[in-house]
A and B are shown apart, each in its own frame.
Chain A
Amino acid sequence: MKYLKKIWFVGLVVLLLASSCENYFEVSPYSADVKSNMKNTHVRNMTDIEKMGSNNSGEFKFAVLADSHYNYHELSTAISIVNSRSDVDFVIIDGDFCDHGYLKEYEMFFDLAQKLNKPYLTVVGNHDYRSNGGKIYRKMYGQPNKRFIYNNNLFVLFDDVFWESDVDVDFQWLEESLKSAAYCTNRIVICHIPPFDGQFTDDKELLYDSLMVKYQVDYSIHGHVHSYSLGDYYNSGVMYLTVESILDKEFAIVSVNSADEIEVERIRF
């Protein structure tokens, strides 16, 4: 019995030592214990983007990368291409940069995204919500719904995930955001799931497009479907763009020219 007491004591000491080296010990893939250096990435990036936008009065471009899942080689290649484009000002990661929503997947994406030489913001995708992904996302990238002004253009990053999400889709917030920047030259909404996907019920699909029309949104940009399409889907005057997936080795660069016209360039690699 005295040996057991020694074992317990030694074990306790070892545990205490181990707990002080917590970065080397992982307790569960479902843990949402985000490392401190990975938290609130969006804050600095948003500040950088808004600062650039306030100093920019001409043509500008931004890259939209979507649906990399666990294809880190393809994501790395896309990042290298974006880095080589000096005409691209910032990057929007349009969701599904995870697959199972594991903390490790978020960390793997974060490590690669750090190699970007431009600021980036993320839109949450359905896969990013899986497991405890919702909690991890909010710790790393803040509230999923965000908006900013860039060169007098309104950008709305909107969480439109219905099935996997742990919160309700906030159409009220979307409408308030669009209403708040009626003075802007262009209005661009970026969310992961297009309204014509099965996650939208008929009434939500109608609501979404009606908001786009009411507030004269120019472009509604999406990922999720792993294929490229561009057109006035509902014949309502709103252009709907779905970006091909990083998994399938493609992304898009969207430009707003000096005449405030929007063009899309497909980048295949």
Chain B
Amino acid sequence: MKKQFTVLLIILSFMLNNTVSAQLNTVKDQQRNWYFPTHIKMQYAGNIGLVSFGPGYKWAKQVIQTDFLYGYVPHYKGDATIHTFTIKNTFQLYTFYFFDKFNLKPNLGFSISFEPGENSYMRVPSRYPEGYYGPNCFYACLNLGVYSHFNIDKESRFSGFDVYIEANTLADYVFYNILAQEDKNNNIFSLALGVNICFGP
């Protein structure tokens, strides 16, 4: 199974590489295919990895971003090697313009992450009675942040980049704090930094 999966992964990488090259070569002449990402995101922290990266898509007139991210935490950092797969959705609330050149875009978002670790599972192990636990490898995050977009050259293969900072928390922590009432913990939020490398048209 592992060998077949590896071969499939190699074939898919080859196909994707050819597709990307083909797209970049014809970027000036053709409309982007719908499946070609609008950007590559790289993020530091934010509860989805020490670093996470992956393709993203801006849609609905660039108001919504959907990213597919792989996050990694090396053992020295988390005292455990952690792999996380995340679908992140960000909704741009508004755009503020400054001096005709600069912009700030506050946004709100949520993500769903999957962590296939040693002690987390999708299917509850058989040693537990039915209903004892649910799967514990998924969690949801909420984030509130601000983006700023910078253009490079709209006609080139890399048309610009976004930089962003956001406050992030797990939906579980928000739930705990709602239950905790006046005993809520003020340290449930953390920060994340990131950049989108945007592709040309």
Contacts and interface: CB of A to CB of B under 8 A. Distances in A.
A4 interface: yes
Contacts of A111: 185, 187
Contacts of A222: none
Contacts of A129: 119
A27 B49 contact: yes
A30 B82 CA distance: 8
A72 B152 contact: no
B91 interface: no
B44 interface: yes
B100 interface: no
Interface string B151-189: 010000010010000001010110110011111110110
B2 interface: no
A107 to B, nearest CB: 7
A24 B183 contact: no
Contacts of B117: 30, 131-132
Contact of A15 (B44, B181, B183): B44
Given A25-B191, A26-B190, A28-B84, A33 B185 contact: no
**Chain B interface residue count: which class?**
35 or more
B3 interface: no
Contacts of B168: 26
Nearest to B45: A25
Contact of A72 (B82, B136, B161, B179): B179
A212 B63 CA distance: 66
B136 A100 contact: yes
A70 B179 contact: yes
A219 to B, nearest CB: 28
A45 interface: no
A118 interface: no
Contacts of B67: none
A92 B53 CA distance: 44
Interface in B32-62: 42, 44-50
B78 A108 contact: no
Given A131-B117, A131-B120, A163-B128, A18 B79 contact: no
A39 to B, nearest CB: 12
Given A31-B78, A104-B170, 4 more contacts: A28-B49, A28-B71, A32-B78, A107-B187
22 contacts: A7-B161, A18-B45, A25-B192, A25-B193, A26-B168, A27-B78, A27-B82, A28-B50, A28-B73, A29-B172, A30-B78, A30-B82, A33-B78, A70-B176, A73-B182, A76-B180, A111-B185, A131-B119, A131-B120, A132-B78, A163-B128, A164-B119
